[in-house]
């Protein structure tokens, strides 16, 4: 895995503090092993959304890997709580949603709630590494727009739609 990343990325990865929030102990172990194999040295775990919220409040990890489907407080509900800057002390923490539920509405809902990245189970080391590198090498600023609080939408996804609606000028116009 280390042959896929630069020395600078390797150094950044070794200093990242990651929290895994998943009710499935086996899945936490799988994700922990992947993170360790890609060079992340500090990995914490929470067995449910409530424990995850408390860990984020107290320790402010650099990245949270969050399962969608959990009892009591699911990933979407937890994300909604975290992304409320009026009531949560660490609303800017980057979050990667991890799920085996790949329906389009879930991806759209996670995006609407302010997730940084979305990863499907079964998870691969390459997919997780790409998402983490995206977060630490090309961080997106947090924005607060019309009730949305989360990472700035990617321009490649937003600009064509805005241009099509006449909100932005065509790309060739200065």
pLDDT mean over 96-115: 91
Judge whether residue 129 has pLDDT over 60. yes
CATH of domain 2-142: 3.40.50.2300
Convert the pLDDT of each residue in 52-96 to its tens digit: 999 999 999 999 999 999 998 999 999 999 999 999 999 999 999
Alpha-carbon distance 125 to 67, whole Å?
A: 16
- Residue 89, C-beta contacts closer than 8 angstroms, at least 6 positions apart: 57
| pLDDT confidence of residue 4 | 55
Paired tokens of 40: 């992340």
pLDDT value for 161: 53
- Model confidence at 164, in pLDDT bands (50, 70, 90)? low
* 109, burial (CB in 10 Å: exposed 0-12, middle 13-18, buried 19+): middle
Look at residue 169 in the predicted model and tell me its pLDDT.
46
Give the domain ranges of the chain.
2-142
Mean pLDDT within 114-141: 93
pLDDT at residue 174 in the model: 38
Stated pTM of the model: 0.85
Closest CA to 123 of 29, 10, 12: 29
**CA separation, residue 85 to residues 1, 53, 75 (Å):** 36, 14, 18
Strands 142-145 and 148-151: antiparallel
**Could you tell me if 13 and 38 are in contact, meaning their C-beta atoms sit under 8 angstroms apart?**
yes
CA distances to 24, 70, 74, 115 from 47, rounded to whole Å, are 7, 9, 11, 20
Burial class, 159, CB count within 10 angstroms (exposed 0-12 / middle 13-18 / buried 19+): middle
Average per-residue pLDDT in the chain? Answer: 88
CA–CA distance, 43 with 32 (Å, rounded to integer): 7
Which tokens is 29 given? Answer: 């172990």
| 76 in Cβ contact with 109 (< 8 Å) | yes
pLDDT of residue 128: 95
Range 130-136 average pLDDT:
93
């Amino acid at each position: 895995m280390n042959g896929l990343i630069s020395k600078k990325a390797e150094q950044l990865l070794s200093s990242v503090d990651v929290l895994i929030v998943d009710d499935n102990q086996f899945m936490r172990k799988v994700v922990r092993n992947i993170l360790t194999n890609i060079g992340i040295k500090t990995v914490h775990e929470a067995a449910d959304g409530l424990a995850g919220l408390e860990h984020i409040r107290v320790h402010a990890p650099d990245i949270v890997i969050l399962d969608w489907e959990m009892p009591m407080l699911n990933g979407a509900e937890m994300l909604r709580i975290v992304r409320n800057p009026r009531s949560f002390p660490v609303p800017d923490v980057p979050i990667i949603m991890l799920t085996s539920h790949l329906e389009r509405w879930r991806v759209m809902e996670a995006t609407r709630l302010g997730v940084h990245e979305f990863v499907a189970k079964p998870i691969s080391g390459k997919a997780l590494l790409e998402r983490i590198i995206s977060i630490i090498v090309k961080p997106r600023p947090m924005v607060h727009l019309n009730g949305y609080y989360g990472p700035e939408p990617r321009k490649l996804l937003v600009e064509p739609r805005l241009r099509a609606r006449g909100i932005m000028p065509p790309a060739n116009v200065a």
